[in-house]
A and B are shown apart, each in its own frame.
Chain A
Amino acid sequence: NAGVTQTPKFQVLKTGQSMTLQCAQDMNHEYMSWYRQDPGMGLRLIHYSVGAGITDQGEVPNGYNVSRSTTEDFPLRLLSAAPSQTSVYFCATRRQGITTGELFFGEGSRLTVL
């Protein structure tokens, strides 16, 4: 059982380049989300989805795009990377409709924008 799988684990981009971080889950969780982790700032929610075809913005959505065409996948797109997007990105999932549901995290993707 793979759980939450993120790819790539490491990526270096130049300013202005675009890329997609992939997140796949095999737990049949309705809720999927993307966080970024920066030193001293904890994790901040970028975007989330409560099911296929439904997405919403979190705390820091600017510069990022998401879509949810299947239950299993929730890719995060950077359309024009900036140095401020250098961070560690985590995908997290849980069952929807359970108010105290535990979040399950991937291992993270470390992105450096030069």
Chain B
Amino acid sequence: GDSVTQMEGPVTLSEEAFLTINCTYTATGYPSLFWYVQYPGEGLQLLLKATKADDKGSNKGFEATYRKETTSFHLEKGSVQVSDSAVYFCALKYGNMLTFGGGTRLMVKP
């Protein structure tokens, strides 16, 4: 079945550092890909998405490119802030099913 694999955390960075969170997927068809973010004590909220190969999703300084050849959707940000501390989930959607990765906790220190 479809699956999503994320790098394990926690990832600890200093403010203004560069962030990469790796995400790879396996899918039988051509899914849509998402990054969701969960701040402490809250539900998940959509961060960005891409619906087809080579699409780049971006939001709040975060970016991810849908790479069909490497089945990847890595999340990047050039300069993280303390307020970016959260858990980040990669997900794929095919039909009615949204499949999530295990989540990566990011901690940003001032």
Contact = CB atoms under 8 A, between A and B. Distances in A.
Q: Do A and B come from one complex?
A: yes
B43 A105 contact: yes
Contacts, number: 52
| Interface SS, B side | strand
Contacts of B27: none
Interface in A43-67: 43-45, 48, 50, 56, 58
| Interface of chain A, main secondary structure | strand
Given A58-B97, A100-B51, A105 B45 contact: yes
Interface in B1-59: 4, 6, 8, 32, 36, 41-46, 49, 51
Given A100-B49, A102-B49, A42 B100 contact: yes
A43 B97 contact: no
A42 B102 contact: yes
19 contacts: A4-B43, A33-B98, A35-B100, A40-B102, A42-B6, A42-B102, A45-B97, A45-B99, A58-B97, A90-B43, A92-B43, A99-B32, A102-B46, A103-B98, A105-B43, A105-B45, A106-B43, A107-B41, A107-B42
Interface of B: 4, 6, 8, 32, 36, 41-46, 49, 51, 89, 93, 96-103
